[in-house]
Homo-oligomer: A and B are copies of this chain.
Amino acid sequence: MSSFADPGAWACPLPLRDYPSVVIGHGGGGKLTAELIAHLFAPAFGLADHALGDAAIVELAGGRLAIATDSFVVRPLFFPGGSIGELAVNGTTNDLAMMGAKPVYLTASFIIEEGLSMDALAAVVGRMAQAAQRANVRVIAGDTKVVERGHGDGVFINTTGVGVVPLGVDLGPQRVRPGDAVLISGAIGNHGMAIMSVREGLQFEADILSDTAPLYDLVAALIEAGGGALHALRDPTRGGLAAVLNEVAAAAGVCIRVDERAVPVDATVQAACEMLGLDPFYVANEGKLVAFVAAERAGDVLARMRAHPLGQRAAIIGQVLAQPAGVVTVQTAIGGTRILPMPLGEQLPRIC
């Protein structure tokens, strides 16, 4: 863990020094909780008054708000390319972004296992704060609970985000139509395989890094480029590309046909999947999106994706057909066709 944690940026302040690791009392709502907030959470999240209360009042212009919630239980806490901290910010703000909403506020709630080292907690919180800055959201309220050793696992984090849906933006699977092109913003499977590589202690020629990233900036560019022709967005996290394509096919009552050769997969990810007997279509991503776009504007949207740092390897990977409704099919590299079913569970538990 230590090689990824980089706690060097954080020097344990005086009132926390008596506690090299988290004790039950840090979750008790008394002095110890207040010290944790004042000396760790509040400075990390840039809260001037050294307070991160369990509630906050904010001003919003009204209209349509998007609200998203997600709990993060990834294991291990630190992995190549990220940590639970980045996931907790990017995962929730990306859920907002997929609805076309600009993320504005975030709450952060921690369930900590007694005994977690204070350095590890500080490193997680530091990563969250950096990710929040990058995603341009403010952490405005939080909560801390501590459970006894053996009743948790390091730290679980819930984040809930509030975003604003700009006037005229209306994205969702109900708008997907036969004829739409299906685009992906980049190579698939990197996040899940990054987690697996550390969990299984695998060595590859090159490190596989998680792709965790905040997607709203890319989404804003696509909304501008696609206008009303941009019908729906999804981020293929748990269950991978296969899960989101099946969700959209079912919700829109359409068939989605994917060309396997068109789907970008890094060679190292492909090799790692083959070694472990995994299908990259089912492996989680944390910084990719799938876009459904009316065919006549697909080229424009693709060009805009490729011009963005997070979409350089974007591709059109398939199209929407009328029949058979609710089904996802894949044209394989050797010319056959197979059905890509909804996964039952997740082949890689606790990847987010």
Residues of A in contact with B (beta carbons under 8 Å apart):
23-34, 54-73, 95-96, 98-99, 101, 105, 107-111, 140-143, 145-148, 150-153, 156, 158, 160, 162, 165, 237-239, 243, 342-346, 349-350
Contacts and interface: CB of A to CB of B under 8 A. Distances in A.
B151 A153 contact: yes
Contacts of A64: 57-59
Residue in A28, A140, A143, A343 whose Cβ sees the most chain B Cβ within 10 Å: A28
A28 B105 CA distance: 27
Given A54-B95, A160-B69, A160-B107, A345 B141 contact: no
A55 B99 contact: yes
Contacts of A344: 25, 28, 30-32
Copy tally for this chain in the complex stands at 2
Given A30-B345, A55-B66, A152-B151, A158 B71 contact: yes
A196 to B, nearest CB: 15
A184 B235 CA distance: 48
Contacts of A146: 349
A172 to B, nearest CB: 9
12 contacts: A24-B346, A25-B345, A33-B345, A54-B95, A55-B69, A59-B63, A59-B65, A70-B143, A73-B111, A73-B145, A73-B147, A156-B156
Given A23-B345, A69-B141, 8 more contacts: A24-B346, A27-B345, A30-B239, A60-B62, A67-B105, A71-B158, A107-B160, A111-B111
B71 A60 contact: no
A104 to B, nearest CB: 10
A153 B145 contact: no
Contact of A57 (B27, B29, B101, B239): B101
A24 B349 CA distance: 7
Given A62-B62, A150-B150, A160-B160, A69 B28 contact: no
Contacts of A28: 238-239, 343-346, 349
A71 B143 contact: yes
Nearest to A110: B71
A29 B67 contact: no
Nearest to A32: B345
Contact of A98 (B55, B59, B147): B55
A146 B55 CA distance: 27
Contacts of A343: 28-31
B99 A30 contact: no
Contacts of A345: 23-28, 30-33
Contacts of A23: 345
A141 B68 contact: yes
A63 B69 CA distance: 22
B98 A67 contact: no
Contacts of A60: 60, 62-63, 65
Nearest to A34: B342
Contacts of A68: 54-56, 107, 141
A57 B62 contact: no
Contacts of A70: 54, 109, 143
Residue in A57, A142, A147 whose Cβ sees the most chain B Cβ within 10 Å: A57
A55 B148 contact: no
A56 B164 CA distance: 11
